[in-house]
Structure 1
Amino acid sequence: MKPIEDIKPLLETPKKVVITMHQKPDADAMGSSLAMYHYLRQKGHEITVISPTNFPDFLKWMPGADLVVDFESSQDKAMSALEAVDLLFCLDFNALYRTKALAPYLEQLKSIRILIDHHLEPQPGFDYGVSDTAASSTAQLVYETLYKLGEEQYITDEIAQCIYAGAMTDTGSFRFASTSARVHRMVADLLDRGLKHELIHQAIYDNFLENRLRFIGHSLLHRMEVFYEYNTAMMAIPYTDLKRFDLQTGDTEGLVNFLLSIQGIKMAALIIDRREEVKLSFRSKGNFDVNTFARKYFEGGGHFNAAGGRSTDGLERTVQRFIKAMEENEDLLQ
């Protein structure tokens, strides 16, 4: 894979560009993709941003979010863009399977593939890109890419908003270990450019419905288990809870962090029955590697202290598998 800055000659003449992200995109995936969209649009390119699935309502304030094509609901429009694409940008994922039903179509493309991502162990097959696991977020890498290209003059307020949203959420509001001096320097630069950061925080964190708060209370009271001998907390959410509280995409975002806030807990697991499969989210403190844990037991991966996985075994069986895996890692969890 050639360095990301080597794409500059490719961007000097208008191209047909597709930007895509992982399924069920979060603020980093959406923010980094839309930041890149706003940059490339200024350069005169024809751009289509494709999300493999729908995305949370609390991200729909982002500049350009109304232009994002949902592959599941607008497949014809997405396919039309893919059939003509010159440059494919893959943001906030590093393995095509993370784009769900979109993956087989991306695999067949003959276009130039460009990766911008911060997850561990990227798959081969990208022509250009940056894969930096030390970065706080893909949004940060988009920001740094613009500087590497010598194109920082194109950072508009729209781009700044998207970048800040991605970095803020992926760092847990700038409290995770990934919040490096690089991140603070970036934020200072965005503030110097006039960014109104408090409005972004309100749009993402203070924009939920009452039912989500009641769901969180119900889950903490009835679905949480704490295994103090393993320094682990788990929450298992049945599909009936999702229906009872009428949850929408993104409503469980951040729930796993409540578990990690318990004193002495080193690993937190959120296990949700999504009906088509069971989804798992893992968080950890210190030296417990949930990326390796997710890859070994649940066909997943991610970062050292934040990862995800999946299971087709049903909720009860998946919980049993998790408990067994936790017990096998007792020494590492001490």
Structure 2
Amino acid sequence: MPPLAALRAFEAVARLGSLSRAASELHVTKSAISHQLRALEEDLGVTLLHRGGTVRRARTTEAGAALLVSVQQALTLLETACRDTRAGAHGRRRNSLNISANPSLAALWLAPRIGRFIELHPDIDIQLFLHASQDPAWDAQDIDLAFLHVRALGPHLAAPGDIPLMTETVVPVCSPALVEPGERDDPRVFTRHRWLEEKHIDSPETDWRTWRPRLGLPDSASQEPLVLSGLSTVVAAAAAGVGIALGRAPLVDEELARGRLVALTPGLRMAGSWGYVMRVRANRPMDASLPTLVEFLAEEGRRAPAW
């Protein structure tokens, strides 16, 4: 049998399409990957990858494609066996799930629902990790399920196999103590209070410059908003009465339901450019706990906001 390192190198290059990316993933040099591939092809007596020439991405030959399927299955079995052994050594129960989300989704939407899920399924343990980018620490934190913020069009797209969770709607929100109930449909209230804005790229609906003409406010009513990082920070400031924020529902639904925030001019709410998907770890063996969690959260994502 060829060395396992050579088979891992072949699988990484075939999956990533690049010797450089495979070398980075496996923490070896590009020349080491190239040497392992040549040795593997000589050992098996076939060419496994098309590379060089005008083709920039390495592609499997017919023989390579057939081998790749078996190699990936074998590596998955080995990874699963090692993970189960490691989990047993460190006390992780089989009915346990590691999930990952960005801080705003985790704090505002996911954490309360995970609490309710655990009440319904006390036999399933869940550990929630945070990621600040689109790249959860799949291996380092042994992530089973990640929640990713994606656009309909743009650099951060849903991938094949991703499970839709929810879309976003933007609506102005504030503390109920800041604006009297009879004034909450009056656009003039926006001229009397500070504007809070989330630092969020490629999202015009969370920018007050988009909302000023939508609310029919004159140029003289424009003001420099207080820009804060992260929706959870913006929501905390709004709930404290600092000003009026552009909230992203359903992330603000819990705060609205509890009465810590109220929606202003809800008839003028604006569809968001972004949404969330659930992504299962690649090649993860399925058990009963993960589909149960996915189904529960998918149903939560379909619920209409109470406000």
TM-score (norm 2): 0.27
TM-score (norm 1): 0.26
> Taking CA–CA contacts closer than 8 Å with sequence separation of 6 or more, which of the two structures ends up with the larger relative contact order?
2
